[in-house]
A = this chain, B = another copy of it.
Amino acid sequence: MYYIGVDLGGTSIKAGVVNTDGVILYKDKMPTKPERDSFFIIKDMASLITEIISHLNISIEEVLGIGIGSPGTPDVKSGVLLYSNNLNFENVSIREELSKYFDIPVYLDNDANVAALAESEVGASKNVDNSVLVTLGTGIGGGIIIDNKIYSGFNNAGSELGHMIIMQNGLQCSCGQKGCFEKYASASALVSQTIEAAKKNPGSLINTLVNFDYDMVNARTVFEAEKQNDETAKQVIRQYLEYLSTGIINIINILFPEYIVIGGGLGNEGENLLIPLRKIVNETAYTSHGIVPTKIVSAKMGNDAGIVGAAMLVKKNN
């Protein structure tokens, strides 16, 4: 038997046929063209699903269900996407609409939750009951897995880890709050911190690496400069790790998951980032007497997290 996993993004719709072990057997994608009415986007999604099933020469009867990971705020129970900034969807019943094409169950959840489920079922936190995925990208996203299930609060609006306040009255966040974790520890925040430090320190290698064109700075730049022993880069990373560790410590003190999985673009730095992060967390976190600490590891699922996690929604409901 098979599952269909759909990663519905603002840029592309990706879909895959996934086996019961969480392995993608075949996948394909098409552009979302998010300015369109949801009717046409869901119609395309149905065509894509039909195409990947036909490609593998399997019948719809062999498919246990379709799982969809979407940006925004879904109502998991009803299969309605309440709202999504990236898609201009408002109160769209994806389940109902997609069920017009296929007579199999349709499950919907948030993309970050789905990615956390992928790591939990077949990725970095496999075989662990309780884990938290923290993605360091433009913002900070997250998914909480408790007792092997997605946990996102009674209204499915929780696990907004990026909007945890780590600095009372700190930097203004676009969400309306001040001092949010993602204003200090997202990949975008690291880029801002890198640019600011480079400008203050004209002799820093960071400037040379981007030829003084600060639009060229990305989250990797500071790590490249650090490898070449640039003092400014070292300071930026040290300060960034302080911010990152604060949010991680809070997750530990509140939830104490067995694993924290670090993903997103910046997560690709892997052990470069995790070795010093673990050190700070272990030295700083309030932990009780003789307690086994949370393990901090890199995400494994990469770009397949969306498809596999969405497919796992079907598995968890069977």
User: A256 to chain B: which residues have CB within 8 Å?
Assistant: 152-159
Interface residues of A in 168-191 (CB under 8 A from B): 168-170, 173, 175-177, 180, 184
Number of residues from A at the complex interface, CB < 8 A: 58
Q: Which of B83, B169, B252 contacts A288 (CB 8 A)?
A: B83
Contact assessment for B83 and A158 in the assembled complex, using a CB-CB cutoff below 8 Å? no
CB-CB under 8 A for A157 and B288, given A164-B254, A166-B166, A250-B250? yes
Interface residues of A in 240-257 (CB under 8 A from B): 242-243, 246, 249-257
CB-CB under 8 A for A154 and B177, given A160-B254, A242-B168, A253-B160? no
Contact assessment for A243 and B153 in the assembled complex, using a CB-CB cutoff below 8 Å? no
Chain A residues at the B interface, C-beta cutoff of 8 Å: 72-73, 82-83, 90, 128-130, 144, 146-147, 151-161, 163-170, 173, 175-177, 180, 184, 242-243, 246, 249-258, 284-292
Q: List 16 A-B contacts (CB under 8 A).
A: A73-B288, A82-B289, A83-B288, A146-B146, A153-B255, A153-B258, A154-B257, A154-B258, A155-B256, A158-B252, A158-B253, A160-B288, A164-B253, A165-B246, A168-B170, A180-B286
